Amino acid sequence: MSHRRGCLHRARRIVKLGCLLLAAALLLAAERAGAADFKVGALANRSVAICRTQWDPTVEYLNAVLPGHTFRLVPLPFDQIIASVAAGDIDFIITNPSFYIELETRFATARLASSRTSILGKETTSYGGVIFFRADRDDIRNLSDLRGKRFVAADGYSLGGWHAAWLELKSAGIDPFKDFASMKFAGSHDGVVQAVLDGSADAGTVRTDTLERMQADGKIDLSRFRILPYPDTGPPYGAFPFLLSTHLYPEWPLAKLAHVPDETAREVAAALLTMPLRAAGKPGENAHAWNVPVGYESVRDLLRELRLPPFQDYGKISVADVFRNYWQIIVLIAISGAGGLLTLIVVSYLNVKLKTSRRELERELEARAAAETRVREREARIRSLLNATTDSVFLLDPAGVILDLNEVAAKRRNLSPAELIGKLLYDTLPKHAADARRATIETVSRTGEAAFIEEDRHGRSYNLRIWPIFGDQGEVVQLASYSRDVTDYKLSEKIARESEEKYRTVADFTYDWEYWLGPDGRYLFVSPACKEITGHEAAEFFADHGLMARLVHPEDRQRMLAHLADAAGGLTGECELDFRIIRPNGQIRWIAHKCRPIHREDGTFLGQRGSNRDITARKEIEAEVAGLKNLMQNILDSMPSILVGVDGLGRVTHWNSLAAKAAGMPFAQAKDMPVDAVLPFVRDERERINAAIRDKRVHKVAKKASVTGGETIFQDITIYPLAGEDALGAVIRIDDVTERARLEEMMIQSEKMMSIGGLAAGMAHEINNPLGIILQAAQNAMRRISPALVSNLQTAKELDVDFEAVTRYLERRKITDYLADINEAGLRASKIVQSMLNFSRRSQSRRALHSVAGLLDKTLELAKSDYDLKKNYDIKKIKFTTDYDQSDPRGYFVETEIEQVFLNIIKNAAQAMAEKVYQAPEEPAVSLRTRRDGDRVQVDIEDNGPGMNEAIGKRVLEPFFTTKAPGRGTGLGLSVTYFIVTNNYGGELYVSSEPGRGTRFRVVLPLGRAGDEV
Amino acid sequence: MKSEAAVILIIDDEEKIRAGLADYFEDEGFAVLAAASAEDGLAVLAANPVDLCTVDIRLPGASGNEFILRAHGLNPKMKFLIYTGSADYELTATLRAIPITDGEVFTKPVENLSLLLAAVNRLLGRTAP
């Protein structure tokens, strides 16, 4: 236990001591390093400013993470790198790999890290060169094409801007300083690009990413350049993100100079590896971070191969070399005492000898190599020429033995060229082809004339040309056979032909008159359908470019010409219009024209594409439809009814002129309005209309009364639902039945009278006999009490009666009056029967020609002498005025009937006027007026009596209707008048009256014709 | 003063009409015969000279028209007055040919019997008393 504790104690002590020592060492190192101000040299290959932009971040980072030290960036141009390192002016160096190798070799400069670069957002750790030229140079396809060209590189020290390309050139056998027309250095990468761009150099080389960077900076258009791409696309080349023409080399290293202590180098190296890679501030600027140092063997090899520093002496013999190779001799000589002089002599002798033989050998070898190279190059060119074709090429002897062939020929037979040389060509062909080929080759050999044959084999088609090659004596010694696989060509030709046929078919078999008018106004295409439409062949349109315009109907021509002019100028977009053409036979056809300008994808104007469609049939149908519409409207308008079409919601879809008149608005205004809102007569019929539409049943309102313009009219409203299954809607018909209603009333009245007449006729006989008895008896009684009759007095005398006393008695007891009453009542009854009989009795009297005015005058006389009128109505006080038509209308009448007509009216007037109290100066007056009305006469008899109210006016013609007290008038007078006028003469009788102002009767009588006498 | 009185035959199926007319004409100084039917009337004519007949048309048996024709056949000088209750009576062509005119047609009742008397006097060439 104690022993172990002792050991542990001792170990702790050792550790403590170690820690103390280590801390001291670190402190010492820090002190020493802190004493120095580290300068970081950097190759300013482009400019000092760019150099600072690129490397300042690294220096600043070092300052930041290593606060014990101070680092300062020192930009160095190409020519100061070596000097600065040699002089130890700087402590670290950032430079390109070429310089680095030299510095490493010569000054033991040691790399600490290799750059990791972010360029244009892409990260790389390697770079190379890119060989480029202007895109318009089609004479440069590979490195060899650069011979004889003017070449420009960035700088003699630049790896990417020169060395990389140089090595590729050298590998291709090109010595830039001999084989180029000129070899220049622009001093900077951008300068190289500029020189190529302005044509002062044919091609150039710059560091990879230069072109992309300049493009990103907007300095160049990359598409104006082409490059020679590096042929290897395997790793890492395939993944390299920039244009590349050369091997890739590691990016720049950061190296320490020999005098920098290892501790400092470690610190710096560790710090560099932790530096983050930030994106550059500006596009096109590079940003850097650091990786562990990579090997620069590839750079070393490049420099060695190019004999560049530090390998500029490579291939020379140094003193050290001699000593190494010949040390035994030298030791021997030294031992034998010959001394240093001898040694020098030997060395210089050997050197001279070696140099001489070596120079000779090199010269010979170079000459031979040059010749061989030329031959090889020439053959390679010819072979590449032969191989750079898709034709198979054979060189044959006249027997058909293959002397040589190209790769295509071998490949077609799936053999290598070597396997085919010496074989008989015919053996490589199927039998039918072999035979034909043999025959052709024999013919060509014999005649010396080239032959052309077509051949199908293995499902493919070939075109063959066999050319003779003549010997010195003009004999055919060899033949060249060229065979071209035309399968695809034939196929594409066939496809093209089919395609052409397809589109031609489409174009030629259109129904429309299609055309394509070129930009020069000439037809490029006119479809054959033009013949059917215009009567002119397509050829006529091709021959006569003004034909279309001339076909246009004169009325449409101005319009069409203006359009065609606009279209030809490309002024119109897609547009259409209708016009008419006149065919050669004079027929007119309607054309719907559509055209539009057409342009190729690049905007080139290709002319106008037009389609002309024959729409004559459509136009005819349209005209027919318009005609039908018109006809329908005319039919609707011709109907004596108000007709309104409504849709399922009762909105107006059609209406005729009567409807428009009734509504007081034109159709356009009423369209789509609810019919009950626009047509007053159906204002309250909405429900009925809806019901008719809903139930598909006709609804009718008969004799509906409406007041319009102060007059009452009667209308039948009928709502017919549309008949179609799917048709929703109705037609509303409104008929004015006012006249009919009135006629019906008159008919009823007439029938009533007729029936009265029939009744009267039946009763008359039965009543007349008793009336006869009554009246005879009354008259006989009155006669037999009268003193006038002699037999009365005789009888009284015989009976011894005082006749006078009897008479006095009879009078006092009013017997005489009773008898008179009986007589009068009997007479009145008799008159009633007589009047009633008039309703049934056709006039038995003959009609004769009478002047209407004469009949009126005669009636007036009758009226004035009428006992009843005289006695009861004071007719003499009535002032009669007459206003007769001057043409004195005459007609065929029964005098008594017409007199009765007029008399009844005058009597009625007189009776009515008697009931009015006239205020002076107004006095009872009746005016009589006649007017001829065609073959009728109109007689107005107008009084200024009290008039009648409507109710009485309506009934005034009714039989037995009277306003007079019983016993005054029979109530039949006007009925008889009416009956005579309407029934006997087919005339009309109207009564109009205004209460308080008077009544007017209007009698309209047909005048009749000769022959109506009976 | 009074010459031989003219004889009037009254034919009417209505007794009161016959009686009334007979009284009237007797009062006027005529000799009056009466019959209730055409047949009776003809029988009267066969037995008596008659100057004028007043004839009802609607009669039981033969009509007044037939009677007139027959009576006229018996005595062409005989005069006729038609006195009928039928308002629609019209003279036939044969009656008109006798001749009988519308002036001799009266519909019952006449407003005043003097109208009949006037016609009778006119037919018989008598002057009114």
Q: pLDDT, tens digit, for every residue of B89-104? A: 888 989 999 889 989 9
Average pLDDT over residues A602-625: 88
Facing A776 at nearest CB: one of B21, B86, B107: B21
pLDDT score recorded for residue A326: 62
Phi, psi of A11 (to 5 degrees): -60, -45
Q: How confident is the model at residue A313 (pLDDT cuts 50, 70, 90)?
A: low
Retrieve residue A33's tokens: 């390093």
pLDDT score recorded for residue A23: 46
For residue range A373-427, list pLDDT tens digits in order.
888 888 888 888 888 888 889 999 888 899 888 888 888 888 888 888 888 888 8
Kindly tell me the burial class for residue A197, based on how many C-beta atoms sit within 10 Å of its own C-beta (0-12, 13-18, 19 or more): middle
pLDDT score recorded for residue A27: 45
pLDDT score recorded for residue A455: 86
Facing B58 at nearest CB: one of A765, A776, A777: A765
CB contact under 8 A, B109 and A772: yes
| Mean pLDDT, chain A, whole residue set | 83
Distances (CA, A) of A245 to A129, A143, A206, A233, A237: 6, 10, 10, 11, 10
pLDDT score recorded for residue A303: 83
Closest A-chain CA to B17: A773
Retrieve residue A19's tokens: 């820690």
- Work out the widest C-alpha separation in chain B, in whole angstroms: 42
Selected residue with higher pLDDT from A784 and A331: A784
- Separation of alpha carbons A278 and A269, rounded Å: 18
Selected residue with higher pLDDT from A280 and A463: A463
Task: Reply yes or no on whether the pLDDT at A66 is more than 90.
Answer: no
- Separation of alpha carbons A1010 and A455, rounded Å: 119
CB contact under 8 A, B109 and A784: no
pLDDT score recorded for residue A681: 84
Q: For residue A605, which of A613, A596, A614 has the smallest C-alpha distance?
A: A596
Q: For residue A987, which of A893, A846, A907, A903 has the smallest C-alpha distance?
A: A893
Closest B-chain CA to A827: B111
Contact B54, B37 (CB under 8 A): no
pLDDT score recorded for residue A293: 82
Task: Reply yes or no on whether the pLDDT at A452 is more than 60.
Answer: yes
Collapse the DSSP code of A764 into the 3-class scheme (helix H, G, I; strand E, B; otherwise coil) and give the result. Answer: helix
CB contact under 8 A, B24 and A783: yes
pLDDT score recorded for residue A289: 85
CB pairs under 8 A between A and B: 78
Question: What does the DSSP 8-state code read for residue A923?
Answer: -
Helix (H) or strand (E) holding A721: strand A711-721
Task: Reply yes or no on whether the pLDDT at A438 is more than 80.
Answer: yes
Retrieve residue A761's tokens: 């006729």
pLDDT score recorded for residue A570: 64
Contact A585, A551 (CB under 8 A): no
Average pLDDT over residues A838-845: 56
Task: Reply yes or no on whether the pLDDT at A749 is more than 70.
Answer: no
Average pLDDT over residues A789-804: 90
Kindly tell me the burial class for residue A637, based on how many C-beta atoms sit within 10 Å of its own C-beta (0-12, 13-18, 19 or more): middle
Contact A737, A704 (CB under 8 A): no
Give the angle B118-A826-A870 at the CA atoms, nearest 5°: 75
- Separation of alpha carbons A573 and B82, rounded Å: 110
CB contact under 8 A, B88 and A837: yes
Q: Per CB distance under 8 Å, which residues of B are interface residues toward A?
A: 14, 16-17, 20-21, 23-24, 27, 58, 84-88, 90, 107-113
Task: Reply yes or no on whether the pLDDT at B105 is more than 90.
Answer: yes
pLDDT score recorded for residue B72: 93
ipTM over 0.95: no
The DSSP string of A583-598 is: -TTS-EEEEEEEEEEE
Contacts of A946 (CB under 8 A, 6+ apart): A912, A913, A915, A916, A995, A996, A998
Shortest Cα distance from A990 to chain B (angstroms)?
29
CB contact under 8 A, B109 and A761: no
Q: How confident is the model at residue A334 (pLDDT cuts 50, 70, 90)?
A: low
Contact A89, A205 (CB under 8 A): no
Chain B CB contacts of A766 under 8 Å are 85
Selected for mutation to probe chain A from B59, B88, B91, B92 (highest A CB count within 10 Å) is B88
From A22-36, A158-172, A438-452, A520-534, the region with the lowest mean pLDDT: A22-36
Shortest Cα distance from A791 to chain B (angstroms)?
7
Selected for mutation to probe chain B from A756, A759, A763, A773 (highest B CB count within 10 Å) is A773
Task: Reply yes or no on whether the pLDDT at B83 is more than 70.
Answer: yes
Task: Reply yes or no on whether the pLDDT at A24 is more than 50.
Answer: no
**CB crowding A828-849: b at 16 or more within 10 Å, else e:** ebbebbbbbbbbbbeeeeebee
Facing B27 at nearest CB: one of A766, A773, A791: A791
pLDDT score recorded for residue A26: 45
Average pLDDT over residues A799-827: 90
Q: How confident is the model at residue A283 (pLDDT cuts 50, 70, 90)?
A: low
Q: Per CB distance under 8 Å, which residues of A are interface residues toward B?
A: 760-761, 764-766, 768-769, 771-777, 779-780, 783-784, 789, 791, 826-827, 830, 833-834, 837, 840-841, 844
Phi, psi of A195 (to 5 degrees): -65, -40
Chain B CB contacts of A841 under 8 Å are 87-88
Q: Which residues pair with A525 in a beta bridge?
A: A516
Predicted structure pTM score:
0.35
Task: Reply yes or no on whether the pLDDT at A215 is more than 70.
Answer: yes
Average pLDDT over residues A908-928: 87
**Angle of the A895-913 helix axis to the A852-865 helix axis, nearest 10:** 50
HEC per residue, A927-968: EEEEEEECCEEEEEEEECCCCCCHHHHHHCCCCCCCCCCCCC
Selected for mutation to probe chain B from A756, A767, A769, A789 (highest B CB count within 10 Å) is A769
Contact A1009, A949 (CB under 8 A): no
Contact A161, A192 (CB under 8 A): yes
Q: For residue A614, which of A535, A732, A542 has the smallest C-alpha distance?
A: A535
Average pLDDT over residues A216-235: 86
CB contact under 8 A, A769 and B24: no
Contact B54, B67 (CB under 8 A): no
Q: Which amino acid is at B37?
A: S
Which of A133-142, A281-290, A758-767 has the highest average model confidence (pLDDT)? A133-142
Average pLDDT over residues A824-846: 71
Closest B-chain CA to A777: B20
For residue range A989-1011, list pLDDT tens digits in order.
888 888 888 899 999 999 887 66
Average pLDDT over residues A17-36: 46
Task: Reply yes or no on whether the pLDDT at A32 is more than 80.
Answer: no
Helix (H) or strand (E) holding A531: helix A529-534
Q: What is the CA radius of gyration of chain A?
A: 71
CB contact under 8 A, A772 and B90: no
pLDDT score recorded for residue A636: 85
Q: How confident is the model at residue B23 (pLDDT cuts 50, 70, 90)?
A: very high
Q: For residue A391, which of A403, A408, A404 has the smallest C-alpha distance?
A: A408
Contact A1001, A990 (CB under 8 A): yes
pLDDT score recorded for residue A488: 85
For residue range A846-905, list pLDDT tens digits in order.
778 899 999 999 888 888 877 677 777 777 888 999 999 999 999 988 888 888 889 889
pLDDT score recorded for residue A155: 83
Shortest Cα distance from A715 to chain B (angstroms)?
43
Task: Reply yes or no on whether the pLDDT at A19 is more than 50.
Answer: no
Facing A780 at nearest CB: one of B24, B109, B111: B24
Task: State the number of CA atoms in the 13 A half-sphere of A810 facing the CB.
Answer: 19
Task: Reply yes or no on whether the pLDDT at A2 is more than 50.
Answer: no
Contacts of A212 (CB under 8 A, 6+ apart): A119, A120, A222, A242, A243
Q: How confident is the model at residue A342 (pLDDT cuts 50, 70, 90)?
A: low
- Separation of alpha carbons A33 and A68, rounded Å: 8
Chain A CB contacts of B87 under 8 Å are 760-761, 764-765, 768, 833-834, 837, 841
CB contact under 8 A, B24 and A776: yes
Distances (CA, A) of A981 to A185, A837, A956, A957: 140, 16, 15, 12
Task: Reply yes or no on whether the pLDDT at A964 is more than 70.
Answer: no
Closest A-chain CA to B116: A776
For residues A677, A679, A685 and A688, what is the CA-based torsion angle, rounded to 10 degrees? -100
Kindly tell me the burial class for residue A806, based on how many C-beta atoms sit within 10 Å of its own C-beta (0-12, 13-18, 19 or more): middle
Contact A845, A894 (CB under 8 A): yes
Collapse the DSSP code of A348 into the 3-class scheme (helix H, G, I; strand E, B; otherwise coil) and give the result. Answer: helix
